[in-house]
Amino acid sequence: MGNNYVFSLQPTFTQGLILGQLSILVLLILVLKYLFLDSSSRHTHAGSAYQPRTSRDVSALSQKLLSEQEKYGEEGASESTEWFNVVLNQVVEAYRSKLRNDCSGPEGDELARVKVEEFANRMRPVGIFDTIHVHSIDLGCAAPRLSNAKSPAGKGDMPAETEFDLTYRDTVSVSLSTAYLFNYPKSAFARLPVSLTISLSLFASRVVLTPPSPTSPAPAVTISIPPTFTLDLETKSLLGSRAILADVPKLHELVEHQVRRTIAQRGMWKVVLPGLSTVPEVKEELAQEAAEAAML
């Protein structure tokens, strides 16, 4: 009957084999439990150092990364606008120099004054105002500055537009004199002398830059200004010959209205791309667009 017992006080080969296998099994369980498996208490402690990301955490992380990308994009746009401002400043300086025929000092001032006077007389309403005499001009020393560049996606085949905020503060001014003509009861029956000094304080607007369409027969870059813009002008005026009226508010309103209307009417410019189109081709395309718009 004693032969039916596995264990006995006297160790046998079979008992040693069984004890060895049990000890290995216990050791394996201990190793798995304390080295590879995680108990509830250890999970709580480890969770303070690392927690798996839930869908909400992933969404929050995505929003954070998107915010950082947008911030970087804004900084990148600001940097790109800065280099564009440098180019724009050089373009404005080139125009100033050409108005002065690349001359400096009083000689350049006089050449620029003559050009502005000739332009003003070409633009004046003949029969309403007498010849305009420009006495002095100030071409300024600053240039428009662009900021907050945005480029919304294009629609269909239309190219994407780029929008800028434009701000221009300078000392541009012109002093001139002319006369308002009274044509009743006969032509030039009387003259009202007018002396004006017009100075620009601020011009601010949204500017839209549209690249050329790939299908356009005369590709050109379009620069447009919406009709809503900020314009601050300072006007000093003298009216009359013997009895003189100074700084008439109504005259200031008239001058500002005319400047606003001119900017609104000419609020779009086409920049011809060399090698792709010519000025006559772009003018022809503009004429066709105007004719089609008139038919609608």
Indicate the pLDDT class of residue 285, thresholds 50, 70 and 90: confident
Tokens 């480890």 found at: 46
Percent residues over pLDDT 70 in the chain = 68
Least trusted range by pLDDT, from 25-29, 134-138, 239-243: 25-29
pLDDT of residue 102: 92
Q: What is the mean pLDDT of the chain?
A: 76
Name residues whose C-beta falls within 8 Å of residue 259's C-beta, 6 or more positions apart in sequence. 231, 233
Task: Decide if pLDDT at 284 tops 70.
Answer: yes
Query: What distance in Å separates the CA atoms of residue 10 and residue 19, rounded to the nearest whole number?
Result: 14
pLDDT at 137 over 70: yes
Helix H, strand E, coil C: the string for 6-60 is: CCCCCCCHHHHHHHHHHHHHHHHHHHHHHHHCCCHHHHHHHHCCCCCCCHHHHHH
Q: How confident is the model at residue 27 (pLDDT cuts 50, 70, 90)?
A: low
Q: Which of 167, 120, 177, 168 is nearest to 147 (CA)?
A: 167
pLDDT at position 65: 43
Residue 112 has pLDDT above 90, yes or no: yes
Contact 237, 195 (CB under 8 A): yes
Would the pLDDT of 117 be above 80? yes
What mean pLDDT do residues 231-236 have? 93
Q: Averaging pLDDT over each range in 60-74, 208-222, 246-260, which range is the top one?
A: 246-260
Which pLDDT score, from 0 to 100, does residue 159 have?
56
Higher-confidence residue of 116 and 47: namely 116
Give the model's pLDDT for residue 24.
Answer: 59
Q: Rounded CA gap, 220 and 238, in Å?
A: 44
| Helical ranges in the chain per DSSP H | 13-31, 40-47, 55-99, 105-123, 249-265, 279-295
Give how far the C-alpha of residue 263 lies from the chain's centroid of Cα atoms, to the nearest Å.
Answer: 19
List Cα–Cα distances, 211 to 278, 284, 285, in angstroms. 16, 18, 16
Q: Please state, in angstroms and rounded to a whole number, the distance separating the CA atoms of residues 250 and 237.
A: 10
- Integer Cα distance of 124 and 118 in angstroms: 10
pLDDT for the residue numbered 72: 42
Q: What is the pLDDT of residue 199?
A: 94
Average pLDDT of the segment spanning 143-155: 80
